[in-house]
A and B are shown apart, each in its own frame.
Chain A
């Protein structure tokens, strides 16, 4: 089992550009959550996808959007990039079953906006 994978590992963009980050969940997982970790902070929740729909959203502007595909993989899109979007973007997957579900994280994509 490859666990949660993310691509690319690193990305450099300039202000105003658009970026797409990708995530493949752990085998058997159906829910994907995205988090942003800025320097010196804990990961901040962006949104969560289940059954190809956005189910929960954190305090992020509409420039942040996502998608989940029938195979449960997911994309995070950020439009009109700002310098402040520079961060590590983490994807986490889980199975939406009864009880407490652990979220398993990928290694992240490091986005630098110049």
Chain B
């Protein structure tokens, strides 16, 4: 049984703060790690797919790093804005392509003015 853990469960920051959260996953048989952003009443939106140890990906103010040897990924948001308020999910596929995803419980981020 795959165990994907995310911390913290929730986070409340002020506009302009930078923040980061963690996704921990089994380090053996690593294939890929997905990060999703999920705003209330919308579809989960794919942010990054990370495959290589040491990978660092960036999309605007959001970036992510990957350490497959120790089994964790960090998601960073620089200069948080209210529109960043969402639940951030990481997901780990059991096997290869188009495989079922095992999700963490998510980190709920709220950014206030």
Residues of A within 8 A of B (CB): 3-4, 31, 33, 35, 40-45, 48, 50, 56, 58, 90, 92, 94-108
Which of B32, B43, B51, B106 contacts A105 (CB under 8 A)?
B43
CB distance from A71 to the nearest CB of B (A): 18
Q: How far is the CA of A99 from the CA of B52 in the complex (A)?
A: 13
Identify whether the interface residues of B are mostly helix, strand, loop, or mixed: loop
Interface size on B, residues (CB 8 A): 26
Enumerate chain A residues within 8 angstroms of B98, measured Cβ to Cβ. Answer: 31, 48, 50, 94-96, 101, 103
Give every chain A residue within 8 A of B41 (Cβ-Cβ): 107
Q: How far is the CA of A10 from the CA of B99 in the complex (A)?
A: 27
Please pick, from A44, A56, A96, A100, the residue contacting B31 in the complex, using a CB distance under 8 A. A100
Known: A42-B104, A42-B105. A100 touches B97 (CB 8 A): yes
Contact (Cβ within 8 A) A56 B99: yes
* Interface CB pairs A-B, < 8 A, 27: A3-B43, A4-B43, A33-B101, A35-B103, A40-B105, A42-B91, A42-B105, A43-B44, A43-B89, A43-B101, A44-B103, A45-B100, A56-B100, A95-B98, A97-B97, A100-B32, A100-B51, A100-B97, A101-B98, A103-B34, A103-B46, A103-B101, A105-B44, A105-B45, A107-B41, A107-B42, A107-B43
Q: Report A111 CB to chain B, min CB distance, Å.
A: 16
Q: How far is the CA of A99 from the CA of B42 in the complex (A)?
A: 27
User: A2: shortest Cβ distance to chain B, in Å?
Assistant: 11
Q: How far is the CA of A46 from the CA of B98 in the complex (A)?
A: 14
List the B side residues contacting A41 at CB < 8 Å: 105
